[in-house]
Amino acid sequence: MKTIGLLGGLGPQATMDLETRLHAVAQKLIPQNGNRGYPPMYVYYHRRPPVFTHDDLTPVLPIQADPELLEGARWLAEKADFLILSANSAHLLQSDIERASGRSVLSMIEATLEEVMRRGWKKIGVLGFPDPNVTVYTRRLTERGLRFEVLTAEQQAPLNQAITRVSQGQLTPGVAQTALEILRGRDVDGIIPGCTEIPLLLGADMNASDLVNPAQLLAEAAIVHALT
């Protein structure tokens, strides 16, 4: 089996959720034998924003990868055959991470878009953090000729606050539910919760048929890739 390198910490709760999902998928796909029925995996927790930020934590533009994040990718590359990222927005840095590490990144974004295409969605609601435009997804949707809906900056602000609180161990689920309902009111076929903290806020509501879970899709793709 290939060894997985998980570049995480963005944030910690979402990283732990992804680790749980990876193990659960492995239990379904790999014959179990004690603790041996899982691909080898190394995990690095990055404890800062993935990019340079201003004092208010908004990204410095154009975005630049935090050198410590790239150092974490290099550390993983010494041990892992391929990398995965625990955050959707970190995929904006995918090329930088691959260049620094010499390892390919199995993309959460691509796994999610493949599922969107499989479901036949034509108009997609996209939630994310911190930018309401969620360019890590909307740019790819545009390339595929798909329409999308996002929040306004005013609507995004409380969601950003709720997402930040998740990394501090505090859940305020009502905010994420409100954001969902805003996009559902715009006649979308389905919604991408494009920040890995949002499913944690939504809990059981993530079972709705008009939602995809990028972390779950990445977990499934990563275990399959590790087995090939």
DSSP assignment string, 71-120: HHHHHHHTT-SEEEES-SGGGGGHHHHHHHHSS-B--HHHHHHHHHHHHT
- Compute the average pLDDT of residues 42-50: 96
Measure the CA dihedral 15/21/23/24, to 10°: 160
What are the structural domain ranges in the chain? Answer: 4-108+216-227, 109-213
Strand partners, 171: none
Count of C-beta atoms within a 10 Å radius of residue 125: 27
- Compute the average pLDDT of residues 169-173: 93
Is pLDDT at 56 greater than 80 in this prediction? no
- Compute the average pLDDT of residues 114-126: 99
Answer CATH for 4-108+216-227 from 3.40.50.920, 2.40.160.40, 2.40.160.20, 3.40.50.1860: 3.40.50.1860
Q: Do 4-108+216-227 and 109-213 have matching folds?
A: yes
Q: What are phi and psi of 23, to 5 degrees?
A: -65, -40
Asked if residues 24 and 39 have their Cβ atoms less than 8 Å apart, the reply is no
Residue 67's pLDDT is: 97
Residue 59's pLDDT is: 85
Rounded to whole angstroms, the Cα distance separating 12 from 53 reads: 19
Work out the mean pLDDT of the chain and round it to a whole number. 97
Residue 55's pLDDT is: 80
Split at pLDDT 50, 70, 90, the class of 54 is confident
Lowest mean pLDDT among 75-84, 99-108, 165-174, 210-219: 165-174
Rounded to whole angstroms, the Cα distance separating 224 from 106 reads: 11
Rounded to whole angstroms, the Cα distance separating 149 from 128 reads: 12
Kindly state the percentage of the chain with pLDDT values over 90. 96
Asked if residues 94 and 107 have their Cβ atoms less than 8 Å apart, the reply is yes
- CATH 3.40.50.1820 for domain 109-213: no
Closest CA to 25 of 228, 221, 212: 221
